[in-house]
Amino acid sequence: MTTLISTAQVRRDIATPLGPLTLVADEGQLRGAYFADHRRRPELDGLETPATHEALDRAEAAYAAYFAGEAADVPVDAVAPGTPFQREVWEALREIPAGETWTYAQVAERIGRPTATRAVAAAIGRNPLTVAVPCHRVVGADGALTGYAGGIERKRWLLEHERG
């Protein structure tokens, strides 16, 4: 488990076809989105759950549109906490078109670091914004579904959902 980013964080649990998803925000920005059994889910107990919160309201609407099939992506204005390298990888993930997949090596190529496949995989594994930063669109070199913090079945469902 990782620790909280700041004491000003708030949370909201939303229902999705894949189970509850916890949204975490602070300073007016979405900072995390985690399934209940998400690997590397930070400790979220004790966070305030306000009835209204601008960032959480926007994020909830964006996730609802995505899961309803009204949006190809989760269009959220989010700032994920991470190292500069991790943020570079996560930005590259947002370039993968909905329903398509790239390999870890393709992501490494995209950021100009073709020999950094393992580091790219590690950064993807630490993505705190599930679905919004579409790490589910990254597959193994042979096209196999691998390494999704929310579970392979969710990864399969998300790709099928996007492909219609």
Q: Would you please indicate which residues are annotated as catalytic (active-site) residues?
A: 135
* Position 8, amino acid: A
CA separation for the pair 71, 79 (Å, rounded): 20
Burial of 82 by CB count in 10 Å (0-12 exposed, 13-18 middle, 19+ buried)?
Answer: middle
CA separation for the pair 48, 51 (Å, rounded): 10
DSSP-assigned beta bridge partners for residue 139: 103
* Position 87, amino acid: R
C-alpha pair distances (Å), 63 with each of 5, 17, 117, 164: 22, 11, 29, 17
